[in-house]
Amino acid sequence: MMKLLAAIFAGTALGIIASRYLFVGSWLSLILWAVAGLALGFWCRKREAMINGTVYGFVLAFIFMISGYSGSASLISRLPFFAILGGVGAVCGLILGFLGSLIREVIQKAGDNSE
């Protein structure tokens, strides 16, 4: 449960920071997001990493869209579209979480083989 809350917090924080303060309008924020997603997956077991990665990706994309929105139409009218984009973020987060847990397994196996 704590790792899930950490995924939600990380997604929220990085979504707001990237849309308002750091790497605004730059693709460099994707690198930061990917590193955080891999780290989250590295920190969790495989199934947990995939769930937390999915939540992280959705929250990140959804919050990024909300906090960066400055259009003339009401924010409420844009939420369904932002949720769809959040789904794309969820898929990316799932992949990153899985890869992070896979990296952890490879490192652990390499450590076991070297002994």
pLDDT digits (tens, 9 = 90+) for 5-34: 999 999 999 999 988 888 777 788 899 999
Rounded distance, CA 73 to CA 63, Å?
17
Rounded distance, CA 85 to CA 106, Å?
32
- Give the position of tokens 């196996």: 109
Give the pLDDT of residue 112.
75
Domain count, the chain: 1
Rounded distance, CA 11 to CA 71, Å?
23
**pTM, entire model:** 0.89
DSSP for 54-109, written as a single string: HHHHHHHHHHHHHHH---SS-HHHHHHHHHHHHHHHHHHHHHHHHHHHHHHHHHHH
Hey, what are 75's tokens? Answer: 């924010």
For 51-71, the pLDDT digits (tens) are 999 999 999 999 999 998 888
Domain extent for 96: 2-113
Rounded distance, CA 49 to CA 84, Å?
22
